[in-house]
Amino acid sequence: MWSHAPWQQSLYGRGCKSGDRLARYAETFNTVEGNTTFYATPSLQTVKNWHAATTDDFRFTFKLPQTITHQHQLRHCNALLADFISTLEPLCGRTGLWKIQLPAQFGPDGLPALAAFLTKFPAHFPLGVEVRHPAFFAKGHEEQQLNRLLAERGANRIIMDSRPVFSAAPTTDAVIEAHRNKPRVPVHAVCTAANPMVRFIGHPDLAANDAFFANWLQRLPAWLEQGKEPYLFIHTPDNNLGPELAMRLYRQLQAACPLPLADITLPQSEPDPQFKLL
């Protein structure tokens, strides 16, 4: 995300208006999760504003609306999907992944619907699928079916790493809420297409994340050497220190990667006194 008021203390600083946040965000980071599209399709003018605030090398990942993924569960939703893609058309060239997040009740019996749904996208659209049903993490026939389907269709299996946040004691409202809402699923680092995506849900103590990130310091460089273009998204329970954790882990990745990675830093912005972290 980019519209997070506490980031006025770090990423944005004094004088950055809410309408300028995306442009400022894109000066530091080169991709973002567009989570708002899960709840409502933006207006065409909003999409044009997002286009104006970014450059051609920036990448969005837009989550498909919940009406498609959760209410219809990928069935009988051709018109909804067509309307959504039509609205987002100005940003199609800047979309790194179209994200299909499926509910926990979407299990193996839904695979035929997923297979049919994936064919509705243009061949050049990069797709990511996030599943939460336990059968898809049991390393059995159902998970093999899912992975085979995604590989055959060139769709990426989105990887959730929520180990860090669930290792945190539930002593704050943010951690309690994260424990309630985030999926607690095994980490299966499976690469089924060209753009594996890792969603890293961090511990509120930034240093406590290092041990959980150690495996990714091997996996991500390996994917890069294979010619993959992985996506890495960093969260914290309340996301207030999301930029700081992203930079901490990115520096570790720079040191571990045999390939050169861009050198990015948080801007030295003057904190906005209107916003204070509690």
Note whether 238 and 129 are same-domain residues: no
Asked, for residue 268, whether it belongs to a domain, the answer is no
Asked, for residue 228, whether it belongs to a domain, the answer is yes
Note whether 16 and 145 are same-domain residues: yes
Asked, for residue 264, whether it belongs to a domain, the answer is no
Identify the DSSP state of 71: I
Note whether 178 and 55 are same-domain residues: no
Note whether 167 and 255 are same-domain residues: yes
Note whether 198 and 239 are same-domain residues: yes
What pTM did the predictor assign? 0.92
Note whether 153 and 166 are same-domain residues: no
Strand order in the sheet with 197-201: 159-161, 197-201, 231-235
Q: Which domain holds residue 134?
A: 1-157
Per-residue pLDDT of the chain (278 residues; tens, 9 = 90+): 898 989 988 898 888 898 999 999 999 999 999 889 999 999 999 999 999 999 999 999 999 999 999 999 999 999 999 999 999 999 999 999 999 999 999 999 999 999 999 999 998 999 999 999 999 999 999 999 999 999 999 999 999 999 999 999 999 999 999 999 999 999 999 999 999 999 999 999 999 999 999 999 999 999 999 999 999 999 999 999 999 999 999 999 999 998 888 887 777 655 555 545 43
Note whether 210 and 139 are same-domain residues: no
d(CA 179, CA 184): 8
Note whether 169 and 152 are same-domain residues: no
Diameter of the chain by CA atoms? Answer: 55
Strand bridging mode 159-161 / 197-201: parallel
Asked, for residue 208, whether it belongs to a domain, the answer is yes
Quick one: angle between helices 111-118 and 141-153, nearest 10? 10
